[in-house]
Amino acid sequence: MSKVYLVGVGPGGEGYITEIAKRLIERADVVVGYKHALNVVKNIVDKGYDGMEKSNSNGSMSMSKRRRKEKDIKMITLKTQDEVYAQLLDYLKGGEVEGVGGGEKECCILFTGDPDFSESEIVDKLLSLFEGNGIEVEIIPGISSVQVAAARSKVAIDRSSLITFHVTGSIDREKDALLYTLRARRTVILLPRPWDFMPQHIGRFLRDEGIDVDAFDVDIYENLTLSNEKVTRCRLADIPDRDYSDLCVMVIKPRVI
């Protein structure tokens, strides 16, 4: 039976992708992802297949070996993704897509970081599309950008609140959660929203809502694990008003007095 893997490929750095993700991507018939996620796995996708043993996602080996073959790589955008997923469903159900034959197929749909953080809108949609049509789906966890930010800032994730503003539509609920958490003087690890709720907007919002912006420190991480990684550490009161990368995580911590 054909199978879809929703694969977390980590925040971008080569060393942050798991072995199982590499293996599944190497052997997949189709790999689908946004430009950033596809860039992360470029070397893996380019790798050949000769002599590679097929193994199950749980790591156990079966006897079959795969021959070198062409892999179908599909770059998606917000605009094209629904159409590509529909084509993929057709293909996995036995149709053909751009010259790849029928039979049992494996497809990896890539997610930056971990598919189970700040991806629920799309993950829910994919689960319903594929599982609703009898295609098995497995989620392969990846290292999330929030995990890397927590590590860089040396804060415990279990003592922090995670909030993503990277959602479509209203972010009022997330804003309330942020205010509530900071009023409780708890650390927050958050994803801003490109481009209307970025670090400088968040600083201004918190000040306007009466948060004591001198009582918190902020670490702003851009392009984590990539060669252009950048960190800005400052008071919540002093967030620089400048352009930030869309790959951005903030850690807001109560100041220790």
Ligand X SMILES: C[S@@+](CC[C@H](N)C(=O)[O-])C[C@H]1O[C@@H](n2cnc3c(N)ncnc32)[C@H](O)[C@@H]1O
Give the footprint of ligand X on this chain (CB under 6 A). 11-12, 111-114, 117-119, 144-145, 166, 191, 194, 221, 223-226, 246-249
Q: CB-wise, 11 or 203, nearer to ligand X?
A: 11
Phi-psi region of 59 (alpha: psi -120 to 50; beta: other; left: phi over 0): left
Cis peptide before 195 (omega within 30 of 0): yes
Q: CB-wise, 88 or 150, nearer to ligand X?
A: 150
Nearest alpha-carbon partner for 49 in 34, 35, 28, 72: 28
DSSP for residue 105: -
State the minimum distance, in angstroms, from the CB of residue 230 to ligand X: 10
Query: How far is the C-alpha of 180 from the C-alpha of 177, rounded, in Å?
Result: 5
The residue whose Cβ lies closest to ligand X is: 113
State the minimum distance, in angstroms, from the CB of residue 146 to ligand X: 6
State the minimum distance, in angstroms, from the CB of residue 114 to ligand X: 4
State the minimum distance, in angstroms, from the CB of residue 85 to ligand X: 16
Nearest alpha-carbon partner for 32 in 96, 110, 115, 139: 110
Q: CB-wise, 39 or 87, nearer to ligand X?
A: 39
Q: CB-wise, 53 or 246, nearer to ligand X?
A: 246
